Amino acid sequence: MIEIRRAGATDAAALAELAAATFALACPPHTSAEAIASFLRDVLAERNFDAYLADPDRLILVAEDAEDAEDAGDAEDAGDAEGAGDAEGAGVILGYTMLVFAEPADADARAAATIRPTVELSKCYLRAETHGRGVAAALMTATLDAARARGAAGSWLGVNQENVRAIRFYEKNGFVTVGEKRFLVGERYEDDFVMERAL
């Protein structure tokens, strides 16, 4: 059984492990192992997730496999304004999203995303074995619901221009390409599309 819930402070280590298992899936083939390791160390380590989880302008949701958890019922979707319950650690985390409720820090993204107030879909990662199981769709629905509940009128994201699978998924969920920006991985800048949708 898949549960969608808000991540809590005790999830930082599991989120860092998940990030290490999934970040490379979104990178273009030319991305070096050293660049990926650098990004994981500098942006997606446990200490980073500790800070993200403590930041009131960020919201992390997780999709969790609670099938074998003894206390899975405690993690059931509460249907609250955040779109998910707050119980922690009931099962294996299969994917996560992170919303950032702030103006885009990147100048190109700020110019391309025109709907205000806006929220960035900063992270959307799932384990490879979940692809095609509907987990991503459920997590995206809960994430967009949470963004609306916090008052956002639009959402934007950056996606590598070579990540065709992700682009198709975002288009299926109502995002359209509105611009381009650059994204630093290790010491190399990658080319991203900026995508946006109304909420």
Tens digit of pLDDT for each residue in 111-153?
A: 999 999 999 999 999 999 998 889 999 999 999 999 999 999 9
Output the domain CATH number for residue 7.
Answer: 3.40.630.30
Residue 112 near residue 196 (C-beta atoms within 8 A): yes
Tens digit of pLDDT for each residue in 31-46?
A: 999 999 999 999 999 9
- The token pair at 112 is 């391309």
Q: Pairing relation of β-strands 118-126 and 154-160? A: parallel
Question: How many CA within 13 A on the CB side of residue 131?
Answer: 9
Domain that holds residue 60: 2-198
Average pLDDT, the chain: 90
Q: Sorting pLDDT into bands at 50, 70 and 90, what band is 188? A: confident
What domain count does the chain have?
A: 1
Beta strands in 77-175, from DSSP E residues, in sequence order: 92-100, 118-126, 154-160
Question: Is residue 191 over pLDDT 50?
Answer: yes
